[in-house]
Chains A and B, each alone.
Chain A
């Protein structure tokens, strides 16, 4: 079926550490892929996206590359900050009308 799978959290890192949050998807074709971020007590906001294979989305120091060979869209950041503590969701469109999210990965960055 069509789904999105994320690594389970929580992920706990020290400030300035390197971050990777894994995301893989199953789909027919090559859907657009997204990373959303949810800060404590807030709604979700788009972090970055990639619309076709080999595209790299980037924002606020975060990056993710759309890799069709491995059906992956892993989120990375070279040096995390305490303010990056949040829940991160990988997502793809399941049809024209439904955005399907992964289960979310909580990131906790310690000073």
Chain B
């Protein structure tokens, strides 16, 4: 069966520090991969999606970036965090043409 893992689950970072959130999917190949952000009390914002290795589409201009170095690995990064980067980050995957997204457990980032 397929599983998705995100880490770290929780982190507190100072403003201006770097960020790396990692997401891996097991049990499937060539999934579409997604990063969403959920700010406190707000809805879901699509940040990046990837349809293959090295293929990244950015939805919102910001100081975040994403990379997909392997088929089932999706990394969210920042060189210098801002206060506004605080939120709950969710990784998700979709297999082929199925309609459903499968979400990871989320990573809660607090920038102080």
Binding site for B on A (CB under 8 A): 32, 34, 41-46, 49, 51, 89, 93, 97-104
Q: Which residue of A lies closest to B101 (CB)?
A: A99
Which residues of chain A are near B49, meaning CB under 8 Å?
97-98
Contacts known (A97-B32, A98-B49, A101-B43); A49 close to B100, Cβ less than 8 A: yes
Interface 1/0s, chain B 55-71, versus A by CB < 8 A?
00101000000000000
What separation, in Å, do the CA atoms of A97 and B98 have in the docked complex? 11
Which residues of chain B are near A34, meaning CB under 8 Å?
99-100
Pairs across A and B, CB under 8 Å, 6 listed: A32-B99, A34-B99, A46-B102, A89-B44, A99-B94, A99-B101
Q: Is B109 interfacial (CB-CB < 8 Å)?
A: no
What separation, in Å, do the CA atoms of A89 and B90 have in the docked complex? 14
What separation, in Å, do the CA atoms of A98 and B106 have in the docked complex? 19
What separation, in Å, do the CA atoms of A98 and B34 have in the docked complex? 9
Q: Is B104 interfacial (CB-CB < 8 Å)?
A: yes
Additional pairs, 6, CB under 8 Å, beyond known A44-B44, A98-B46, A104-B42: A43-B90, A43-B92, A43-B103, A46-B101, A89-B43, A100-B46
What separation, in Å, do the CA atoms of A63 and B86 have in the docked complex? 34
Q: Is the CB of A103 within 8 A of B43?
A: yes
Q: Is the CB of A46 within 8 A of B100?
A: yes
A96 to chain B, nearest CB (A): 8
Which residues of chain A are near B105, meaning CB under 8 Å?
42-43
Contacts known (A43-B105, A44-B90); A101 close to B44, Cβ less than 8 A: yes
Contacts known (A97-B32, A97-B49, A97-B57); A104 close to B43, Cβ less than 8 A: yes
Q: Is the CB of A93 within 8 A of B99?
A: yes
Q: Is the CB of A42 within 8 A of B106?
A: yes
A105 to chain B, nearest CB (A): 10
Given A41, A44, A97, A98, which contacts B103 in the complex, CB threshold below 8 Å?
A: A44
Which residues of chain A are near B19, meaning CB under 8 Å?
none
